[in-house]
Each structure stands twice: as structure tokens, then as C-alpha cells.
């Protein structure tokens, strides 16, 4: 008789655990794309907060913000095979905050200054990006960079990077960053 009661109590506990699990799962915040409400696992970082998107809508959002961006910047071709965590935008002030060496901040400043008055290498419109190939940069040693950039407008820069973002195999845990409001650099995150 006691064994019988014990079995019933055991069954009730198992049932309760299953119910709690199901209810809990239903109430957990679903990871859905802010645009299409489909499955989303890519963070878009706009500084103060992050939005979630599926990959195509992540790129769409980024392209829109890039078109609106008026600042000059430097950007390094992302190597998502080696550094899949995200594509970070650091302003010069961010770099100081994150304790980048003085030489690194100075280097970014110098490259950004070079952009003024240049034309896009691809379409000849006004350039706003100093673009470097991935082999020109060993993350995150800006201070060791010696290569000369290709000058691009935002549209032509986005055209080069868009297929890399779409083709990246892993989710961007660290996120794709929106272009900042101040001059700075796009680069991959090492960790």
C-alpha cells in the first residue's frame, strides 16, 4: 500500500515538472525577427539596445542605416570564417573607452582623415569609407597597420560586405553594429 502511494506521488511530481517545463517554455521570450516575425538569432547593436533579426532582414536594416550615415569611417573586410562573432563598429571615443593603445586610436584617426576629398574607386561618387582587405589587419592591432586603403562610397562598401554577412555560417553572437554617429572603424571581434 505504501509503495502504491509512493508511486502515485512520484507520478504527480513527474507530471508537475513536465507542466512547469511546458508553461515556462511558452512564456520565454521568443527569438523572432523584428521585421518578419520569423526565427531570428542575429543581434543588431544600435549602441543603447539590440534588436533581433533573421539574416536577410539584418542586412536590410544595416543597409538602410548605412545609407543614412553621413560620417567618414574606416572598415576592414570581415573574416567571419576566422572571427564569426560579429562586425563591430568602434568610434574613436569607444576605442579610448575600451583601452585600445593610443597608437591604435591615432591610426584610425589618420585613416579616417584620408577619406576627405577622395572619390569612390568603384563608382567615382564622393568616398566616405577607407576600406581594407582582411589581410591588411591582424585583429585588433590597428597600430600595426601600414596598408593603404581603397576609398569607397557607402553604397559600394555595403555591396562588398553584404554577401559576406549573408554567407556567414554562424550567428553573430556579438552582433552586427549599426554605423556610429562619430568617425570610427568597422572590424571583427577577436573573442
- Catalog residues that contact Zn ion under the rule CB under 5 A: 33, 35-36, 38, 54, 57, 120, 122-123, 125, 153, 156
Q: Which of 188, 191, 175, 161 is nearest to 53 (CA)?
A: 175
For Zn ion, the closer of residues 39 and 144 by Cβ is: 39
CB of 39 to Zn ion, least distance (A): 8
For Zn ion, the closer of residues 34 and 164 by Cβ is: 34
CB of 127 to Zn ion, least distance (A): 7
Contact (Cβ atoms closer than 8 angstroms) between residue 156 and residue 123? yes
For Zn ion, the closer of residues 116 and 125 by Cβ is: 125
C-alpha cell at 58: 539584418
CB of 84 to Zn ion, least distance (A): 20
CB of 96 to Zn ion, least distance (A): 31
Q: What is the H or E stretch that residue 92 is in?
A: helix 92-97
Cα separation, 136 vs 127, in Å, equals 20
Contact (Cβ atoms closer than 8 angstroms) between residue 165 and residue 75? no
Contact (Cβ atoms closer than 8 angstroms) between residue 86 and residue 168? no
For Zn ion, the closer of residues 118 and 134 by Cβ is: 118
Amino acid at each position: 500500500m505504501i509503495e502504491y502511494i509512493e508511486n502515485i506521488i512520484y507520478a504527480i511530481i513527474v507530471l508537475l515538472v513536465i507542466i512547469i517545463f511546458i508553461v515556462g517554455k511558452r512564456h520565454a521570450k521568443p527569438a523572432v525577427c523584428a521585421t518578419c516575425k520569423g526565427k531570428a538569432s542575429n543581434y543588431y547593436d544600435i549602441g543603447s539596445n539590440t534588436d533581433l533579426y533573421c539574416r536577410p532582414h539584418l542586412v536590410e536594416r544595416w543597409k538602410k542605416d548605412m545609407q543614412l550615415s553621413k560620417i567618414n569611417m574606416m572598415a576592414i573586410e570581415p573574416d567571419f570564417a576566422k572571427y564569426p562573432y560579429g562586425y563591430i563598429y568602434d568610434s574613436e571615443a569607444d576605442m579610448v573607452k575600451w583601452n585600445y593603445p593610443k597608437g591604435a586610436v591615432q591610426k584610425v584617426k589618420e585613416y579616417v582623415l584620408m577619406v576627405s576629398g577622395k572619390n569612390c574607386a568603384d563608382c567615382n561618387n564622393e568616398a566616405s569609407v577607407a576600406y581594407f582587405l582582411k589581410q591588411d589587419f591582424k585583429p585588433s592591432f590597428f597600430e600595426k597597420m601600414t596598408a593603404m586603403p581603397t576609398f569607397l562610397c557607402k553604397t559600394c562598401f555595403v555591396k562588398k560586405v553584404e554577401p559576406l554577412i549573408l554567407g556567414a555560417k554562424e550567428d553573430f553572437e556579438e552582433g552586427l553594429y549599426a554605423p556610429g554617429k562619430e568617425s570610427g572603424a568597422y572590424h571583427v571581434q577577436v573573442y
